[in-house]
Each structure stands twice: as structure tokens, then as C-alpha cells.
Structure 1
Amino acid sequence: MDIARSLREEARRANERRLLVLAGDPERTRTRAAAALDAADIPRAETTVLGPKSFIDCERYEQSRAEELLGRTRTAVVLDAHAELRPNAVGRSVGAVDGGGLYVLLAPPLDTFPQRRDGFDETLAVPPFETADVTGHFRRRFVETLRAHRGVAIVDVDSDTVESDGLTDPPPRRPPAPPTPPDDAAFPAEAYEQCLTDDQRDAVLAFEALRSAGTAVVVEADRGRGKSSAAGLAAGALAAEGRDVLVTAPRYRSAAEVFARAAALLDALGVDYTRDQASSPRSLTLDGGGRVRFCPPATAVDLPEAPDAVVVDEAAALPVRRLERFLDAPAVAFTTTVHGYEGAGRGFSVRFRDRLADGEHEVTDATMTTPIRYGDADPVEVWAFRALLLDARPPVDPLVTDATPETVDYRRLSTADLLDDEHLLREAFGLLVLAHYRTEPADLARLLDAPNLTVRALTRDGHVVAVALLAREGSLSAATRATMYGGGRVRGNMLPDVLTTQLRDEEAGVPVGQRVLRIATHAAVRSRGLGSRLLSEIEAEFADEADWLGVGYGATPELVRFWDANGYGTVHLSTSRNDTSGEYSAVMIDPCSPAGERLAERHAAWFRDRIAAVLSDALADCDPDVVRAVLRAADAEPDLSLSPWEWRLVAGVPGGASIMDTDPKPFRDLTVRHLLDPADSDALTAREERLLVRKVLQAAPWLSVTDELEFVSRRECMRALGGAVESLTRLYGDVSVQEELDRHR
């Protein structure tokens, strides 16, 4: 194919990439793809196919496994979109193509592509909707970007016509001037001489902070900027000083470049070292001391053999709770991808950065913007960012800083509104991206195509200041509810699914609700009540259409209090942590109708009755402030029915006449009663409530509780617990209980 040859020649000359679209009959596009790669002189060993079948003798993965390309470089990637087009697969694979390479897309005829329904569309059709209800807006916009952007060649293989040749006639590539090594660097000059851009030099310089304990380094960059190479040069330099550097990443393949660059630096320094294996080494051990070694995250969090420094590559792909454990290292660095939704999502930038800033580490930041794999003006990167909104951003601060609940407008953003106004779409989606740790390219398709989703926003002079993504759930057929109750998988309907499968309520899928999937307020106007204003408008809109409003999220004390203040009551706290946030998820409901009230009331009561037992088992390590908040937010009628004997047992503890271990149940009942709805909110301090949660409800060992709550001694901790029990006994016990209490005082 002459067009493929021309694209490849131009791409190599400019150190850019080109996109070749082959549209038409599936088998014809596959045959032409093989011919195109041959014409472009791209070896099969440097090619990866993402698709359902092998048609080229090269590496192949299903689109669902596109993450295998993260951290790798390929000369060509062929994405076969005939069976399905997964946005995440596009986002994860396009960045793997090197400068001078081709990204090849195989697709049905572009004019009919948006009307087709494929395997990905089936995932958007959550009950009671069907695949036919899914729109094709995402693919229509996707096709429009293909036709509008530079560097995209489009060939109709059925008619053998070239719609666009994709040639841009760029100026010849000019090799960039090598960066100047810093004058006052602690790392050897050879480390800086191997840098390819000023950004990379500055990143390596930032890594010098790891030479001191109590430091953390954060390097952020888009893919292809050389952040892993910078980390490798720094690791090699630290090892040359005799330090032990532990490297971790979601998979070794992601960190392979770190070891390659570390080894190259050691070679340049003339340092003698040994590899644990000739290719893909996982350990570089220097003869005079010092080493660079890899451990998977599950092992690395324990800081085996006490490393001097830890490098976490592609940190965004790891759960926040796991990232926090690396803060116990003497010095730690995190590299992460800014755009492209690398790995698991944006837990790093949304949740972890705040926790890092609040900690004791001295943090050094570096940002890398200049591409290394390909030229600065690469048209394929520009296309990918536009097609998937990888660089979507909220409005700049000055446009919204005067927004208040009284000056904003409530808007129902239809798909037509978003497609007709690119700025509105970018602002709404960009706000969701920056405010939530799980947003990914597929969410753009869901927002535009899923029949169960709607978008609501507050705007100020047309600019988005707060946005919510809602999912319609419930109103499920008897057959669907029976499938769910029997353990069958039902897409979507998260809240009915949890209440049905885990809490054994088959009728939970009958009422119809609106679940708040995402809600975000612009950072410049937070804490002004805009989130609450948005929720109140949503409640007013759906008051006559829904039985309940609901939400499920990684629980923190602040978030629980926010939802509680807006009328949502706790009905469930998950018994396993979220893989990404590392937090237990709270499920809360705000009823809108009698049916919704009945659903909320019975589940709040069940939550009240079972929570004490769960806290001493699966939730034994839950943050006590989260426990306090979710119990306070449960709209359950307090119930305290202790027998005379149980009251005597409780009343004897403050004076030392009895011990809690004889029967913890009445103490748990008393604690839950108070935390649900205190008769006197000043009866206990926050510390006393935490003590009751950790010792009474979670049954933590005395020494652990003493240490966590910073008591001077175990005796003081035990005395404090006795005082808290006495306060509750006087608050909730009758006259006879007071007399029993006084008897032992």
C-alpha cells in the first residue's frame, strides 16, 4: 500500500506518528492491514494487534487486555474495532506507538459505524434497558475526530478509495539540543548527560532529594515523556553511592525501563555490578555495595530488607491505601501519568496527593511535558486527546470564582447539549475527571451513550461549577430480581444489587431510584454549599419520578458528614476495601416516596442490628471516625434492650467490680445506641467515642488501642474506657441502674 509507505516515511522524517484507518469489510481491512505493515517496512516483532482474532503473525491481545501495552514501545499497533470499540483500549494502546510508527484502526464503514451496536455497547445496556436503547453518540463523535484531525489517513477498502491521505508535509525533524547538566548536581554528570530533554534533566535533579531521609518526590507526566527513564537514572546514581533502592510497579514490565536506564548509567560510570539475569533484570547488585531491585507492590509495601529509598513507578495504578504504606520508607518517589487514565485511574492525584501534602514528608515536585518517544507536534497525540477528552479540564478559576448557591443556574445537560457545545462537554467531563479517582475513557462513552445515565450541573455564566452524573436503577422485573437474588450477575443497578445479593432483600430491586455516580464541585468554589445546592435541585426534580436517591462511595468522615447533611442515610458499609481508594464503601439512601421510605427504613434497621458483629470481624480495621460517622448517619430507630443482669454487668465496669470480657454484647449495644442518636451529644468526647469503637466494637487489643489513641499507659486507657461506660450508663440507664453504678463507686 503506497499510502502506508508514505505515512511511515513522513512519520519517520518528522519523528511523529500517523494514524491509518482501514474501513469496510472486516476481512478486507485485515488483509489490507497486513499489506500496509509490509509496505511500511514494520517488522512483525515490533507490532501488536488488539482484537478478537489473529490475522498477522505477531503479538496479539484482546482489547480487554490493552493494559499489557502500558509502559511499552511498539512501532505499530493495530486495533481491530469490528467486534467492539473499547475506549479504554484506544487510550491505553495509542501511547505505546513510537515516533516514526503507525497506529492502525480497522473499522466498519465510517458512515454506518455509529449506528452499529457491538460488544462494548452491550455493557452499557443495564437492565431494564436493552442494547437497542444505547445511542451511538460516542462513536459518531469519534468518527468526526478521525475526519477532522491532521495525520489521519482514511481508506475505504470496499471501494478502494482514499478519503484522506493523512499527510501533513511537516518540516524535517531537527534534533533537539542536549540539555545542559546542572552546575550544583549531587548525582554524577553522566546521569545528566544521558538525559534527552530539559524536563528529564530537571526530573533527575528532583530525584536527588531521595539522598535525604524524610523526603518524597512526585514526578508527573503524560506517557512518552521519559519519567521511568529519569527514575532509572536516579536509581542508578543512588546505587552508585552505596544505597539500596527498591523499585515497584503494578507489573515488572512497567518498570523494565527503570532497570534499563539504571544499568546504562552504571555502565557509563564503569561500576562493576551483577544482574540476576541477562535480560529483563530484576536486581542490579554493585560489587562495592548498593543495589537496585524490584518487588511487586504486595511485597514492596513491607519494605523488605529495609531499603534506603523506594521508587513507585506508575503510582496511579495502585490503591491509595497501598501507596500510603510506602510513606514508611526513609525516602520515596512516585511517578505517575497525568493524562490517559493509566492503570486504575486517578486515585493518586485525587486522594493520595492530599494525604501526602498533609503528612510530614518534604515533597519535591517535577512535571515533564516534552515528549521523548515522538515529536512535540505529534498529530496522533492531539487526535487521541481530543477523541477521548484525555486533557479535559474544568473552566479556569477566574471564570467561576464568584459563583455562589444564589448566583448559579441548575441545568439538565442532555447529550445533545454536550455534543453541540464542545466547551461545555470538556468542562463537565473535565470536572468529573479531576474530582474522582475512577474516571476513565470508557466513562466518556457511558456519559454520551448509556440509556440509564443523565447529567446535571450548576453553571455560572455558562461555565460548569458543579456536576453530577446520575444512574437510573431499580424497577427490575421479577425474573431479573430472582437472577440477582440467586447470585447471577446483573449489569449496573449497584444499589439494588448490594441490597439483594449481600443483604438478601429480593424486593430491593422493585422501587426505582437515581444513584449519584459522580458529583464534583470546582476546586475554586468548594465549601460554599454548591454541592448541596446541586443535590437539592436533583431531589426536587426527581421527587415525583423516583422512589429514592442513593449513593455508594469510599467512606471518609468528611464525605459521610456531607451526605448525611444532605438527607442521605446509611444502609450498608462494605466488608472489603475498594481496590483503588483503599477505603470501605458506604451505601446511603434518601427516600423520595413511601416505597423508598420502606426500603430505607428496613435496611437502616438491619444495619443497626448487624453492625456491631461486623465491626468485630470484617470491619475490625475500619477507621473509627468512619464508624462514628456512618452510625450517626443511619436513620434507624435506636434500640437498647438490656436485661437487668446485663445492666448490672455494665454498671460494674467503671468501679472495677466486673469486666467487659464476661459478655461484650451489652457494651456493644450501649455503644451503638449512643453513636446512632446520642441523647446528649456532649456526653462523650470524640476521643472517648473512638475508644469505644476500637475497644468495644472492634475488639482491638489493649496495647494497640493505647498506642493508637495516644494514652500514656494501658491503665490510663482502661480507666478512660470505664469513664466512657459510666457516662453512657448514667445517660441511658434507669434509676435502678444508677443505684447499681453508685454502689460500686
Structure 2
Amino acid sequence: MTLASLAIDLRAEADRANERRLLVLTGDADATRRAAVDAIEEADLSIPDCTAISAADDWPFERVGPRHSRELLGRTQQAIVLDGHDECSPNAIGRTVGAVDGGGLYVLLAPDLDSWSDRRDAFDETLAVPPFGVDDVSGQFRGRLVETLRAHPGVAICEIGNDYAGPESETVEIRDDGRTDPYPARPRETPEPPEDAVFGDDIYRACKTTDQAEAVHELEAIRNRESDPAVVVDEDDDPPAVVVEADRGRGKSSAAGLAAGALAREGRDVLVTAPERRGADEIFARARERLAAAGTRSAGGGEGATDALLADSANAVDAESGGCVRFARPPEAADLPGDPDAVFVDEAAALPVSLLERFLDGPPVAFCTTVHGYEGAGRSFDVRFRGSLAESEREVVDVRLDEPIRYAAGDPVESWAFRALLLDARPPVEQLVADATPETVSYEELTPEDLLADEHLLREAFGLLVLAHYRTEPDDLARLLDAPNLTCRALLHEGRVVSIALLAREGGLNEGTRERVYRGDRVRGNMLPDVFTSQLRDFDGGVPVGYRVMRIATHHAVRSGGLGSMLLSEIESEFAGDGGHEADLQGERVDYLGVGYGATPELLDFWRENGYGTVHLSTTRNDTSGEHSALMVRPLTQEGADLAARHATWFRERTPGVLTGPLSDVDPDVVRRALRAVDDSAVPEELGLSERDWRVVVDAANGMGSYHAAPAAFSELALRELILGNAGLAPSAERLLVEKVLQNREWDAVAADLDRVSTRMTMRAFGDACEPLVEVYGTEAAKEHREYWERDD
């Protein structure tokens, strides 16, 4: 068999079954690249409908750089060549494998498979974070990738000789022909409009599968019923929520776009959001298609407007009816700008649950989410957000799409991708771990070798890590197996993973690296030292060695049982060198443990209760989550304590300035909890208030005078109490101190935000909050002045 005959046979078999086939060409880079072009031509695939993901530029068809593979999202190709010689990114595989149409070929180019894991490429360089070099990267992900290629059906493997001379060349050795002799594909049913459909027939006839048509039908539930004169709506009814779940390539975004277009045709204002603007392209494309079919006009163009509508500067499509489909980034969309009639949240699993919950306070909403795939952690969405949906008392409509749009169900290339990238990794089933308690678990280091030796352990560990973050990518699997700065610790119950932490070594940077960071360069994989040095101007912030808790997760069946805190305690004991654990990091001194995350009151409390102290609160919001990041440190040595102490002090000192500036609108509960987690040592022993300052504070406590007469005095007192808590103020009083004293908001705004009866009552409550501050922190002179008011009483 020659390469030519193999390519012809693979294409014929794929076309017959409406499936794809994977062709692996190994050998010299130039030879395999020539062979890839020949294979595609011999398979009679259209050159304009093929794309190469490659650093090399000598291709007869479209070429996309390895770092730009995201450009293929939402597109359909007859063939894709992924050139793994210069860079083999798991993300690139995940993004491109689903773009090949049924009957097409996915072509992977690689060096000799036996030695591929020993080679280092541009992707490996991204894993080599300082102080490690690329030679420290292990390459075990590619070793596992090769195993899946050799073991999986539908994968053809050809060794291409260096003197390759064409598709009939005898220097091609077929190691596996990849043929499966499948049954012919069944004809796909043409969707028909449901009898009770409200959307137009053309909306349903634009669907590719019956699954998609059913999803569109269920999405009719989010029509704004209050604007429909034929429907009587109870004012107490909560608006519905539709959850559309699917694996990638099932047409959920297209279904959302068809429904959005139908709603806009009815004159409704539809707000669309997604983690990235380009992720909503399919929704806008299908919505515009349906609006154009009905004779519409578009923002930025007239009848039959062009693709310029989908550019980032044109985020709206308007209908003649007055309806529209418009885009907003997630944090902005959660504020429901313009009071939309309906909201579509695409790739909802790639957004944090705290942000998703904000959409439950608005109009009818559809959450469209990928169950498995790099777009987000569908399992996290299912486990964590479902509870919020149930508590919202909304009518929840669930719909799932199973039938692929581009190829037949059971496609072997899709199943290979799921296995190779662990796209369907899950934690242990609930019944196996439901009895886990701190007394029944064992603390273990999970090395890459341990994980690779036990596929079930690997899937459970990675599946639980998926739950720890709202966005998990295939690259994260390679980091887990290959990155020299990462290490994994877990609690196991009868061999099953119930709690897990992924830790990143940071710091220990040499003077040259610190100098470059201080001057503005970025340093990969060193979040805390980077912030300490470049943003907070601590030249020595990268000297101590720390381990940052990148992710920590506990199985949902035993959450709130103390296992997460137990895991952190075990990690601290091990890394501090006093736990008697055998794997004590080869004797390396660890100065601190750290963490960085999107700050919420609940998370701030969790980390404070586990001994971590706040050292920084970012002044900008994350574009996707809308949250400010908190950095916290748990010192383990004197050098770590010195680092934590000086940054805690600097955080306290800059807090008044940033809270009246970039953090003026941050949630006061986040401020309260962040300050309560500041180490007490950051508070000076002496307050430094003058006699007049105390007189103003005492007068304010007795309803006289003004906060503005000595704002710095009130600010110093508020900071002291919010950190120490010695006066025991109620949460409402602490919020009042944050908003009025530290964020310097107007009295009317404070009263409205805190749901006070009136501005006057808010000012009175402020005076009440000052009384215990005088009692606990006041000087003798301050208390004597208080007696002046008590005599009047």
C-alpha cells in the first residue's frame, strides 16, 4: 500500500460513514509536510477548503500559525494539517479537531513517534518557567499522546522516509492503515417545524438536525411573555431559564443564534454575551442570516449588510421590527445594560458561577454550555451552578444536543480526541466517596508517573481539577504531566481522589531575572513574585521561594466536610518540614505558601481561616469574571514572614488611596473580608490621632460635627477596626465604614446602596458605629471629651 492508495481509501471510508479519519505522518519535517500535501491531493480534497496549523509557510493552502489556532473555531474544513514539528499544543488539537467535516481528514505531522517525547519544541518552552529551563520539561504528555494514537481505531500511521519522492514513493512505511470498515452513514432526517411552534417555519428549516430544532423550540420559552398580549403572566412568576448543553460541534450556538434572530424579528431586544467576542460569532451569523431572510436593516449597513457587522466595532444587528441582537462582555452584560428582553450566555461554563448568578436577577435567560471541551468546565457548571438555578425558583427548561452537526455520531476521531485530551474526565462517582471524612483519607503526592501508570487515577484527578476552575484547557493536562514547576497533592479515600491541590513553585529568582521584571518584563509562571516586583516595586519580592495554590478542589459529595482545609494543613506541614512526610521536596526550603484568585467574601473567609493573609487586591477587574484578584500569603520561614509582613503593611498603607480611586466601586463585603485577613502586625501600635482628631470623632459619635472635618482620622480608625475587629462592629456597620470612610461615597449613595431608610438615618448609624471605636481605641482625652456629651444626657 502506498501513501496515495491509503489516502484514497481513508477518504472513501470517511465519506461513506460521514466520519473523519486521522492520518499521522512521522519523520523529517520537510518530508512529512510534502507528504501531507500529496495525501490531501490524492484524497481529492479541495485545497481552498484545507488549512495547515504550522510555523512553516510553504503550504499551497491556508496557513494559520500555531498560536492562532483559535481562528478555526466555528469553521468547517475538509482537511486540517496540524504540524507538530515546531510546536505541538494540546489546545491547538482541541480547537482544530472539531473543525473537520464528515468525510474529511485530520492530518498530524510529528517526528519519529518513539523519540517524540524526548524532543523539545516551542510549546515546551512555555512550560519552562523560571528558574527552570526547557530541558527540565518532561515530555510525558506527548508520550501518552503517542500511546493513544497507536491504540485507537480510525488512526492511520505512516513513517515517511527522508528521501520521500511522492505519493507512490517506496520510502513510506504504513504502520497502521486506520481503516475500520464502517457501515454507510444513515441519511439525516430533515427537521420539521413543531406543530405548536411560535417561531417562523424558516427558523426550524434552517436547523441541521432534529436535536437542534428541538433546542430552538425549547428556547421559545425565553420569549418575553409580558409583552405578548395573548399570554397572561402572574407578576410573582420568575422568568424562565433555559439550559442548552452539548458537546462541541452539536450546533448549540447555531440554535441560540436562530432563536435570537427570531426574537429580534418580533421586536425584542436580545443581549448576547460570551467569554470572548469571537465566541459569539456563530450566534450573530445565524441571527443575521434569519433577519436578512426576513428583509431587515443592519447597524452599519443597509439591506443585505456585509460581514463588517460581525467586527468588534459593530456589536449589534438591528431588525426592521425595532428588535436587535447586541453583544456585551460578561461583567457588563451582568448589569443588564439597556434593560434587554432576553439574555443569551454562550459558553456559560467558561464563566465563574458568581457571575452567572447575577443573570438570575434579570429577564428570561438562556445558558448555552459545552459539556466536555476546552471552552470550559461543563462539569463545574453542572455541579455548582445547578444549585443556584434551583434556589432561584425560576422555571428551568433543560435541553441537550447529542447529534453532531459536522459528522456522524460515533466518529472515531472525536472519541480519540476525548481520550487523548481527557475532555470527558470526571471525578469519582458520588457513591464511592460519599463516606469520606478527615479520618478516612490519606495524604498523597500524585506524581506524573503515578498518574500515567493509572488511567483511572489520572481521569479522577484531572476531573476534580476541572471543577476547581471555571475554565480548563487541554494545555492544563500537559502542564500537569510535564511542567517542572508544578506538583500535585491529594487526599484519597479508599484510593479515590476526594480533594486535590495543584501547586506552582514560584520565586527563588536570580538577580538578573529580578532586574528584568523590575524594569517591566514579565516572568512566566511566577504570579506572586511578578506582582510583588513589577507592580508593587519590591526588588527583592522574587527572592523567597513560594508555592502558589493554583487550584484546589474537593469532591462535591463531601464539600464543607473540612477536607479542603485538611489538605491545606497537610501541605503546610510538609512544606514547612515538620510533617514527617517522605516527599519533602528534596530538602528545598519553602518560605511561604500563596494563592491568587477572584475575590469574593466567601473565598476570602476560607483562605483567612486557613491562615493566609491579604497582601494585595488588584485595582482592575478580570475581563471575564468581573472580579478583583486577591493575593494572600501564608509564611513558613522568617524570610517568608518578612515578605508577608512588609506587603501586608504596604497593603494597609495604600488602601485609603486605592479605595477612593480604582476600587471605589468594589463590593464593600470584599473590602471588609480582605482587610480582616490582613495580618495584625501590619497595624501600628499607635494610632497617631491628634487631640483634635479625637474630638471630631467623639463629636461625630454624638451626632455633632462632620466626618469631613477630619477624614484621615476616621480612615485610620476604620482601617484599624476592619483589620483587628476589636470593637466587634456588626457587618452593617463595617459596610458603612467602608463605603463612607474608605470609599468616600456621598451620603445619599451610601444610604441607597445599604438600603437605609433615609440619608439622615444613615448618618445617625454612622455616629452609632463610631461609639465603640472611641470606647476601644480612644485615648483618655477622647473619653474625657465623651463625658462632656454624657453630662448633657
TM-score bucket (shorter structure): over 0.9
Is residue 12 from structure 1 mapped to residue 12 from structure 2 by the alignment?
no
Other-structure match for 1:372: 405
Structure 2 unaligned blocks of 5 or more: 162-170, 226-238, 311-315, 578-588
Once the two structures are superposed, the pairs formed by residues 483-494 of structure 1 within 5 Å of their partners are 483-494=516-527
Other-structure match for 1:702: 747
Among candidates 662, 665, 690, match of residue 618 of structure 1:
662
Instruction: State the SS of the aligned residue for 2:410.
Output: coil
Question: Aligned partners of 1:251 and 1:75: how far apart in 2?
Answer: 26
Q: CA deviation at 1:373?
A: 1.4
- Please say if residues 727 and 772 of structure 2, whose CA atoms lie closer than 8 Å, have aligned partners that are also in contact: no
Among candidates 651, 656, 659, match of residue 706 of structure 2:
659
Other-structure match for 1:729: 774
Q: CA deviation at 1:349?
A: 6.3
How many pairs does the alignment contain? 740
- The letter of the residue matching 2:129 is V
TM-aligned CA distance change 1:48 to 1:744, over 3 Å: farther
Alignment RMSD (CA, Å)? 2.7
TM-aligned CA distance change 1:172 to 1:516, over 3 Å: same
TM-aligned CA distance change 1:293 to 1:14, over 3 Å: same
Q: CA deviation at 1:253?
A: 5.5
TM-aligned CA distance change 1:477 to 1:351, over 3 Å: farther
Among candidates 103, 106, 112, match of residue 103 of structure 1:
106
Q: CA deviation at 1:530?
A: 0.4
Among candidates 541, 551, 557, match of residue 518 of structure 1:
551
Question: Aligned partners of 2:282 and 2:533: how far apart in 1?
Answer: 47
Q: CA deviation at 1:482?
A: 2.2
Question: Aligned partners of 2:784 and 2:181: how far apart in 1?
Answer: 94
Is residue 217 from structure 1 mapped to residue 245 from structure 2 by the alignment?
no
Among candidates 586, 602, 621, match of residue 630 of structure 2:
586
Other-structure match for 1:636: 680
Among candidates 91, 112, 116, match of residue 113 of structure 1:
116
- Please say if residues 490 and 497 of structure 2, whose CA atoms lie closer than 8 Å, have aligned partners that are also in contact: yes
Other-structure match for 2:262: 237
| Most deviating of 342-351 and 11-20 | 342-351
Q: TM-score, normalization: structure 2?
A: 0.88
TM-aligned CA distance change 1:349 to 1:401, over 3 Å: closer
Question: Aligned partners of 1:34 and 1:83: how far apart in 2?
Answer: 18
Q: CA deviation at 1:266?
A: 6.5
Question: Aligned partners of 2:740 and 2:276: how far apart in 1?
Answer: 39
Is residue 163 from structure 1 mapped to residue 175 from structure 2 by the alignment?
yes
Instruction: State the SS of the aligned residue for 2:184.
Output: coil
| Most deviating of 131-140 and 364-373 | 364-373
Once the two structures are superposed, the pairs formed by residues 131-170 of structure 1 within 5 Å of their partners are 131-158=134-161, 159-170=171-182
Is residue 648 from structure 1 mapped to residue 695 from structure 2 by the alignment?
yes
Other-structure match for 2:63: 60
Other-structure match for 2:760: 715
> How big is each residue's C-alpha offset from its partner over 1:493-521, in whole Å with a ceiling of 9 and x where there is no partner?
22222222222222222222221111100
Among candidates 481, 484, 499, match of residue 514 of structure 2:
481
Once the two structures are superposed, the pairs formed by residues 300-311 of structure 1 within 5 Å of their partners are 306-311=339-344
- Please say if residues 608 and 636 of structure 1, whose CA atoms lie closer than 8 Å, have aligned partners that are also in contact: no
Instruction: State the SS of the aligned residue for 2:92.
Output: helix
Is residue 527 from structure 1 mapped to residue 560 from structure 2 by the alignment?
yes
Is residue 295 from structure 1 mapped to residue 327 from structure 2 by the alignment?
yes
Among candidates 428, 433, 440, match of residue 466 of structure 2:
433
Question: Aligned partners of 1:537 and 1:579: how far apart in 2?
Answer: 34
Question: Aligned partners of 1:465 and 1:324: how far apart in 2?
Answer: 26
Instruction: State the SS of the aligned residue for 1:52.
Output: coil
- Please say if residues 14 and 100 of structure 1, whose CA atoms lie closer than 8 Å, have aligned partners that are also in contact: yes
- Please say if residues 321 and 582 of structure 1, whose CA atoms lie closer than 8 Å, have aligned partners that are also in contact: no
| Most deviating of 252-261 and 585-594 | 252-261
> How big is each residue's C-alpha offset from its partner over 1:399-445, in whole Å with a ceiling of 9 and x where there is no partner?
10000010011111111110000000000000011221232111111
- Please say if residues 250 and 296 of structure 1, whose CA atoms lie closer than 8 Å, have aligned partners that are also in contact: no
Is residue 506 from structure 1 mapped to residue 539 from structure 2 by the alignment?
yes
Question: Aligned partners of 1:94 and 1:647: how far apart in 2?
Answer: 69
Question: Aligned partners of 1:628 and 1:579: how far apart in 2?
Answer: 23
TM-aligned CA distance change 1:728 to 1:303, over 3 Å: closer
- The letter of the residue matching 1:9 is A
Q: CA deviation at 1:41?
A: 1.9
Question: Aligned partners of 2:658 and 2:297: how far apart in 1?
Answer: 51
- Please say if residues 251 and 296 of structure 1, whose CA atoms lie closer than 8 Å, have aligned partners that are also in contact: no
| Most deviating of 84-93 and 419-428 | 84-93
- The letter of the residue matching 1:603 is H
- The letter of the residue matching 2:219 is F
Q: CA deviation at 1:580?
A: 3.1
Among candidates 78, 81, 85, match of residue 78 of structure 1:
81
Among candidates 40, 44, 47, match of residue 47 of structure 2:
44
* Fraction of identical pairs, as percent: 59
TM-aligned CA distance change 1:474 to 1:56, over 3 Å: same
Structure 1 unaligned blocks of 5 or more: none
- The letter of the residue matching 1:54 is D
Q: CA deviation at 1:133?
A: 0.9
- Please say if residues 317 and 326 of structure 2, whose CA atoms lie closer than 8 Å, have aligned partners that are also in contact: no
- Please say if residues 657 and 744 of structure 1, whose CA atoms lie closer than 8 Å, have aligned partners that are also in contact: no
TM-aligned CA distance change 1:284 to 1:575, over 3 Å: closer
TM-aligned CA distance change 1:296 to 1:528, over 3 Å: closer
Q: TM-score, normalization: structure 1?
A: 0.93
Question: Aligned partners of 2:653 and 2:618: how far apart in 1?
Answer: 15
TM-aligned CA distance change 1:617 to 1:347, over 3 Å: farther
- Please say if residues 513 and 546 of structure 1, whose CA atoms lie closer than 8 Å, have aligned partners that are also in contact: yes
Q: CA deviation at 1:259?
A: 4.9
Instruction: State the SS of the aligned residue for 1:153.
Output: strand
Question: Aligned partners of 1:166 and 1:115: how far apart in 2?
Answer: 26
Q: CA deviation at 1:568?
A: 1.2
| Most deviating of 633-642 and 118-127 | 633-642
- The letter of the residue matching 1:206 is E
Is residue 692 from structure 1 mapped to residue 724 from structure 2 by the alignment?
no
Question: Aligned partners of 2:632 and 2:279: how far apart in 1?
Answer: 38
Q: CA deviation at 1:311?
A: 2.7
Question: Aligned partners of 1:344 and 1:498: how far apart in 2?
Answer: 28
- Please say if residues 125 and 134 of structure 2, whose CA atoms lie closer than 8 Å, have aligned partners that are also in contact: yes
Other-structure match for 1:393: 426
TM-aligned CA distance change 1:687 to 1:507, over 3 Å: same
- Please say if residues 224 and 342 of structure 2, whose CA atoms lie closer than 8 Å, have aligned partners that are also in contact: no
TM-aligned CA distance change 1:361 to 1:661, over 3 Å: farther
Is residue 452 from structure 1 mapped to residue 499 from structure 2 by the alignment?
no
- Please say if residues 272 and 344 of structure 2, whose CA atoms lie closer than 8 Å, have aligned partners that are also in contact: yes
- The letter of the residue matching 2:216 is V
- Please say if residues 204 and 230 of structure 1, whose CA atoms lie closer than 8 Å, have aligned partners that are also in contact: yes
> How big is each residue's C-alpha offset from its partner over 1:437-484, in whole Å with a ceiling of 9 and x where there is no partner?
232111111110111111111111111001111112222222222222
- The letter of the residue matching 1:665 is A
TM-aligned CA distance change 1:609 to 1:141, over 3 Å: same
- Please say if residues 54 and 83 of structure 2, whose CA atoms lie closer than 8 Å, have aligned partners that are also in contact: yes
> How big is each residue's C-alpha offset from its partner over 1:514-534, in whole Å with a ceiling of 9 and x where there is no partner?
211111000000000000111
- Please say if residues 33 and 109 of structure 2, whose CA atoms lie closer than 8 Å, have aligned partners that are also in contact: yes
TM-aligned CA distance change 1:295 to 1:599, over 3 Å: closer
TM-aligned CA distance change 1:668 to 1:8, over 3 Å: same
Instruction: State the SS of the aligned residue for 1:653.
Output: helix
